[in-house]
A and B are shown apart, each in its own frame.
Chain A
Amino acid sequence: MKKVLFPLFVFLPVTAFAAANNVGSCGLGSKVFEGQQGVAPQVLAVTTNGTFGNQTFGITSGTLGCSQDGVVTSAWKTAMFIDGNKAQLARDAASGQGETLDALAALLKIDARDKAAFVSLTKARHAEIFASVDSADSIATQLKAALQSDSRLAKYAEAV
């Protein structure tokens, strides 16, 4: 009954961070696969520890993209989290447990009594939510739609 309440939300411009903000300025779009390849970088990189990757901000650097002085601006916290954990989230959601799934539930302020429903939802709707694992934007859009279509969890959709 409830599963067909809001079947077509996918078409609404619902993402908190694609429509309203300029994604590019935020440094979103981290690669799903990145690693140290080859021997030379391994030998040499160690002398500096200078891995300046995504989501690393200078302290007292002021406002840059979606960070302010080294912390993520609150409106962007969920978006940045999803972007930084795309593959891990997809895995945790598929297996119905895991640290990133717990952290996402905490970010969305999901009540302890709704947690099991949230986990079941991300598992049952895995194929749509993670249709494009390399796009944080797509994951958020689909997650929001999935939440909205669930009468119990719809109240958390705003937080995505």
Chain B
Amino acid sequence: MKTLLALGTSLWLTLAAAPAHADTPDYLATLRASARASHLADDPAWADLLQYEPYPVTGHLRSLADDAGFFNAPDGARNPAAELDATLARLFAPARPDAPDDHPQCRFPARYHWLKNRLSIDPARLPEQPCPRLEAWTKEINPAGVTLVFPSAYVNSPASMFGHTLLRIDAVGQTEATRLLAYTINYAAKADATDGFSFALKGLTGLYPGTLSSSPYYAKVREYSDMESRDVWEYRLNLTPDETRQLLRHAWEIGATRFDYWFFDENCSYMILRLLDVARPGLRVSQQFRWTAIPVDTVKGVVAVPGLVSDITFRPSAGTELTHRAGRLKAADMDAAIAVADGRSAPASLGTSQTATEQLEFADRLVSFRGHAGKLGQDDALARLKAIQTARSQLPAIDTGTVPVPPRPEAGHASGRFGLAAGHLDGAAALFIDLRPAYHDLLDPETGYARGAQIRFLDIGASQREGQGWQLDRFLPVDIVSVAPRRSWTQPLSWKVRFGWERALGASRAASPLLAGGPGAAWEVQGLIGYVFLENQLLSHGDIRGGWTIGSGPLAGILWDAGSHSRLQLEASRQWFVENRLDRSAARASLRTRLSPRDNFIATSEWTRIALPAADHQERRLSIGWQHYF
């Protein structure tokens, strides 16, 4: 018995001693020498793994990770070579039976995996550590490949046009029936503020930490398709299972690492691209988006990599599905279906025909749509759904056709736009330049963008009149218009808001601060959109008594597509101000014709009459020019 115990003890001692190999220092030195000889620290793949990026001017590397725990060397955030040496040393750390996943091999599995391959590390001399949590996680996800998911804009929310991207990790043996069960990898700001303004400010200025999170795909589909009614595009990538596993390892090591979230560059889409870069060394698709990473632009970047995207799927939102279903019903049948959704008539009153089945399915979707939009209380909505579905469940399944697939987001114009124009301004010859870094306005070609949605960021315009210097016409950090047509089954509120600097007092006075916006309504008849707004303004200018004033008045306009290449916009407005010498009427006509995917011809005529200064003052602007998307 004693002998057995002694034998057991010595065996245990041998095993416990095993990780501290006699040749550890030698082997570490060998690996370091080998890494140096092959310049591993300068390999772009190492830079990707450590999230290094060169400083704009000096070119020195620094990591985007704002967290010392992400590095093994004290100066690891700035020194790739030191970080590589320190990482190699830490891979030899003794086993951690108490907390195996805290071992550096498990803490930095993507780095370890890459070094193991590149240095052909011998597991007999650098023992492999078990990582039970990482293994359980990977096993549950069961990765086979990756799909890039892009939820596009939702109707009546131009701000959402900016978009978002996330990854779906497709499982081994996944079918259409089970893809809802796959997991997603999502990068988002971990926001805490409840008031909207600090929320936005912190998001723009990097004060929120960005966090990688995971959720089942169905949770994301419900969020985008139902709650927000955004169409979703799924781009299946040709990443191999091995590459996908490396992506997961990298997601794991980023885990709870702090990265500051910046809305324009270090955002969701940028992190997604960086994950792809690590999955496939040499891809380096993130490098095109060093300055800004607008989600839809990153989708274009991914699609542009030859062979990377293998399949594209469109997932219509609840609203798109409703529009499709509405198109299948005659006006009278639609009214009857709406009456059921309103609770004005009983589901059974529709009968049992195939049309009745379609009406019931339409009413069901309409009730849900209203529930999500907050137009119907939860209890009422649930009671109506129950009645409708009970009736529906007694009728056979039917074919309701497929929702037409719209043009893909990457088919849209590039989001930056530059314009040059010449013409007349206030009686003198003039030149005009415009720059709009992002994103889309009502006159731009609509392909790939949401209809009736405008969002302009940092829009800037200047003009030069004959004999005078350049003058700022406008600088608008944000300018949003949502023209959402009303239909028999939905009556959305259109709205607009903009703030910045405009020459609100006419061409002869300098641009001054303003905040404007208001509610509206829109209708669509055979492709022609008509809209009205109540526009309210808060103006500030040195020439105004008291420094500022407010005004209000109606605005009406139409948008009309003349063929597939041209669009015409007409607007007329009237504003009354508290200081009534500022009262004005204005009319504007703009015609845009697409010359090529990147170029437009643009003609604008504008007429404004301001009561200022004392007598009637009229001002005309006429311009013809060219716009280029970049």
Instruction: Pull 19 A–B residue pairs with CB atoms less than 8 Å apart, ordered by A.
Output: A32-B381, A32-B382, A33-B374, A43-B200, A46-B160, A46-B162, A48-B189, A49-B188, A58-B255, A59-B214, A60-B255, A61-B255, A69-B136, A72-B140, A84-B218, A94-B390, A126-B389, A127-B393, A133-B386
Using an 8 Å CB-CB cutoff, how does the interface string of A36-51 with B read, 1 for contact, 0 for none?
1101111111111111
B137:A72 contact, CB within 8 angstroms: no
B227:A34 contact, CB within 8 angstroms: yes
Distance in angstroms between the alpha carbons of A46 and B145 in the assembled complex = 29
Cβ of A106 under 8 Å from chain B = yes
A42:B216 contact, CB within 8 angstroms: no
Q: Within the complex, which residue of A42, A59, A106 is in contact with B255, where a contact is CB–CB below 8 Å?
A: A59
Residue of B nearest to A115 (CB): B177
Cβ of A74 under 8 Å from chain B = yes
Q: Report the minimum CB–CB distance from B80 to chain A (whole Å).
A: 24
Q: Within the complex, which residue of A33, A71, A106 is in contact with B371, where a contact is CB–CB below 8 Å?
A: A33
Cβ of B149 under 8 Å from chain A = no
A94:B141 contact, CB within 8 angstroms: no
Cβ of B474 under 8 Å from chain A = no
B480:A43 contact, CB within 8 angstroms: yes
Distance in angstroms between the alpha carbons of A44 and B374 in the assembled complex = 19
Cβ of B414 under 8 Å from chain A = no
Distance in angstroms between the alpha carbons of A45 and B396 in the assembled complex = 42
- The interface size bin for chain B is 35 or more
Q: Report the minimum CB–CB distance from B161 to chain A (whole Å).
A: 9
A50:B214 contact, CB within 8 angstroms: no
Cβ of B159 under 8 Å from chain A = yes
Distance in angstroms between the alpha carbons of A100 and B218 in the assembled complex = 9
Contacts of A77 in B (CB 8 A): 181
B214:A70 contact, CB within 8 angstroms: yes
Q: Report the minimum CB–CB distance from B23 to chain A (whole Å).
A: 33
Given the interface pairs A123-B393, A133-B385, the reply to whether A60 lies near B368 with Cβ below 8 Å is no
Cβ of B92 under 8 Å from chain A = no
B222:A84 contact, CB within 8 angstroms: yes
Q: Report the minimum CB–CB distance from A32 to chain B (whole Å).
A: 7
Given contacts A68-B137, A106-B175, 5 further A-B contacts (CB under 8 A): A39-B497, A49-B164, A56-B213, A70-B214, A96-B396
Cβ of A18 under 8 Å from chain B = no
Binds B, one of A2-10, A85-93, A138-146, A148-156: A85-93
Q: Report the minimum CB–CB distance from A50 to chain B (whole Å).
A: 3
B227:A35 contact, CB within 8 angstroms: yes
B177:A69 contact, CB within 8 angstroms: no
Residue of A nearest to B184 (CB): A56
Cβ of B350 under 8 Å from chain A = no
Contacts of B219 in A (CB 8 A): 53-56, 84
Contacts of A55 in B (CB 8 A): 215-216, 219
Distance in angstroms between the alpha carbons of A43 and B389 in the assembled complex = 35
Chain A residues near B (Cβ < 8 Å)? 31-37, 39-62, 68-72, 74, 77, 80-81, 84-85, 87-88, 90-91, 93-97, 99-100, 102-103, 105-107, 123-124, 126-127, 130, 133-134
Beta-carbon contacts under 8 Å, B115-149 to A: 133, 136-137, 140-141
Given the interface pairs A50-B203, A99-B180, A103-B177, the reply to whether A56 lies near B263 with Cβ below 8 Å is no
Closest 5 A/B residue pairs (Cβ): A60-B255, A47-B203, A50-B191, A70-B214, A48-B203
Cβ of B46 under 8 Å from chain A = no
Given the interface pairs A47-B263, A88-B226, the reply to whether A100 lies near B189 with Cβ below 8 Å is no
Q: Report the minimum CB–CB distance from B303 to chain A (whole Å).
A: 21
Q: Report the minimum CB–CB distance from A88 to chain B (whole Å).
A: 7
Contacts of A97 in B (CB 8 A): 397
Contacts of B372 in A (CB 8 A): 33-35
Distance in angstroms between the alpha carbons of A60 and B189 in the assembled complex = 17
B157:A33 contact, CB within 8 angstroms: no
Q: Report the minimum CB–CB distance from B460 to chain A (whole Å).
A: 20
Residue of A nearest to B263 (CB): A47
Distance in angstroms between the alpha carbons of A61 and B390 in the assembled complex = 42
A46:B159 contact, CB within 8 angstroms: yes
Scoring A42, A49, A126 by chain B CB atoms within 10 A of each residue's CB, the highest score goes to A49
Contacts of A51 in B (CB 8 A): 188, 223
Residue of B nearest to A71 (CB): B140
Contacts of A42 in B (CB 8 A): 156-157, 159-160
Distance in angstroms between the alpha carbons of A131 and B16 in the assembled complex = 60
Contacts of A107 in B (CB 8 A): 181
Contacts of B55 in A (CB 8 A): none
B199:A103 contact, CB within 8 angstroms: no
Q: Report the minimum CB–CB distance from A97 to chain B (whole Å).
A: 5
Distance in angstroms between the alpha carbons of A120 and B371 in the assembled complex = 28
Q: Report the minimum CB–CB distance from A26 to chain B (whole Å).
A: 14
Q: Within the complex, which residue of A35, A80, A123 is in contact with B374, where a contact is CB–CB below 8 Å?
A: A35
Distance in angstroms between the alpha carbons of A53 and B214 in the assembled complex = 11
Q: Within the complex, which residue of A57, A59, A87 is in contact with B368, where a contact is CB–CB below 8 Å?
A: A87
Contacts of B222 in A (CB 8 A): 84-85, 88
